[in-house]
Structure 1
């Protein structure tokens, strides 16, 4: 019987540990990629939270605005105000020459958690006196126009985002 001898594999006499160094460098790179991924995820979470707060603030302000439009219409039609209305017949101004600035008005809100509105009746503006009633024009409630500025925050207990909406509402 012929035996074939297999060549012996050469075994190094001294191990140098190169694989250990390569493995440690790879682990270090993976750890750095993991840390960067966690930072990106944290930043995305903050961005999503800010977007949510801004969107809630805008939706709350738009709700205040729509409720104020219904209240202005009820005041003009001399019907009952909707529940939770922030205005009354005496809070609607007709002075168009008062220099009202919606941006500054929003900045001047002292309690950022509470919604607020400012309503001006602007269909009577015009002429040198700033009021159509001064010029002898009839009082026409069927086509009343209002400038409504609404302010609200995203959360009443801990506000982090505020919105001011300025619009024109015509009956």
Structure 2
């Protein structure tokens, strides 16, 4: 038997459509990767800002607690803590002075690591409220308004926080 090899048909001209589709898919994947990197970078910046704000608030709270301990030491005439942010002469006794804690906090520059403003307000309290306002005040139980300011780092700070509290001995 004489078999002749069959002739295969010649392939048609290839036009490279698969190449174009693969390149387009590669470009789309690259764009998705770039968008993902930008989102990750933005989330990292947001996390860093949140951390800086939280650290500034914790520093302001720490200054407030140290101020309360110093006021208690001053009132008891005992030795103030070594890290006390104020002395007895820093406490304002005058009720006539208008004090805005928000304006005071905004006026602090970023170069200020911490600041404190203390006012004795027991003689200023008038009216009724949760601090037994309107009733005769006990002169041996003073009330203080403590406003503190702190930044996230002592140098090159990016966030600030202020805390305004009422402290009753």
Structure 2 length-normalised TM:
0.85
Structure 2 stretches lacking a partner, 5+ long: 127-135
The runs of 5 or more residues in structure 1 that have no matched partner are 128-136
**Residue number in structure 2 paired with 1:134:** none
Kept in 2: contact 1:113–1:159 (CA 8 A): no
Q: Deviations over 1:34-65 (max 9, x none)?
A: 01001100100000000000000000010000
Equivalent residue for 1:86? 85
2: distance between equivalents of 1:110 and 1:39? Answer: 32
After superposition, the C-alpha distances for 1:69-109 in whole angstroms (9 at most, x for unaligned) are 00011111111111121211111011122110111111222
In angstroms, what is the RMSD of aligned CA positions?
2.4
Is 1:147 paired with 2:154?
Answer: no
SS of the aligned residue for 2:145 comes to strand
Please report how far the alpha carbon of residue 167 of structure 1 lies from its aligned counterpart in structure 2 after TM superposition.
0.5
Aligned residues: 159
Secondary structure at the residue paired with 1:81?
Answer: coil
What is the CA distance between 1:138 and its match in structure 2? 8.5
- Does residue 33 (structure 1) correspond to residue 36 (structure 2)? The answer is no
Contact 1:113 1:158 in 2 (8 A): no
Displacement of 1:11 in angstroms is: 5.5
Q: Cα offset for 1:139?
A: 7.2
TM-score w.r.t. structure 1 length?
A: 0.84
2:108 maps to: 109
